[in-house]
Amino acid sequence: MRYAFRSLAGVFPALALLLPFALPAAPARASMEVVAFGDSGYAPGTIVIKTSERRLYLMIGGGQAERFPVGVGKAGKRWSGFKRIERKMLHPDWAPPSEVKHDIPGIPDFIKGGTAANPLGVAALVMTGGDYAIHGTNRPQSVGGFVSYGCIRMLNGDIAQLFPQVSVGTPVYVEP
């Protein structure tokens, strides 16, 4: 499945009436915690997503990691493997892939970034291949569940905190 992370202004002018999200100036740190991470094989700056735990770990070194709750792929949509961060986007636009359009026929073909209707939230870290991203969400209650089509959902405050710590090229390991 290929997500279209693009920027096309004016496709749905009515969406401009929706209130935009803003990248928080001082993101909430409540859901992130520094924890011991037993696998010392990961270099600092590496992202490890443990799907079964529904947690994302950003390795900080010294056997420690920042841990964030995430929403992950629902049954039949989960995946594991290695990717890298390919692009970083603030307030990304979103075009639902055909699979989402099939499941939700009434969804618009394009949703402007920064609008309340945009499911990518305040930021996205697009992984190699362009199929999946680590992104915020307009549905915070979905974080912690098996809910997505393969993307990794974070609370908007959490992705805002993670975003500046991650560079293009950052390795991402997704474990079952």
Q: How far apart are CA 67 and CA 56, in angstroms?
A: 6
Q: How far apart are CA 47 and CA 146, in angstroms?
A: 19
34-37: long-range pairs with CB below 8 Å, 24+: 34/60, 34/64, 34/65, 34/66, 34/67, 35/64, 35/65, 35/66, 35/67, 36/63, 36/64, 37/63, 37/64, 37/65
> What's the number of CA atoms in the CB half-sphere (13 Å) around residue 103?
6
Would you call 151 a catalytic residue per the annotation? yes
Would you call 91 a catalytic residue per the annotation? no
Q: How far apart are CA 60 and CA 155, in angstroms?
A: 20
- Catalytic residue selected from 59, 126, 151, 162: 151
Q: Which residue, 21, 149, 137, 146, is CA-closest to 96?
A: 149
Which amino acids are annotated catalytic? Answer: 135, 151
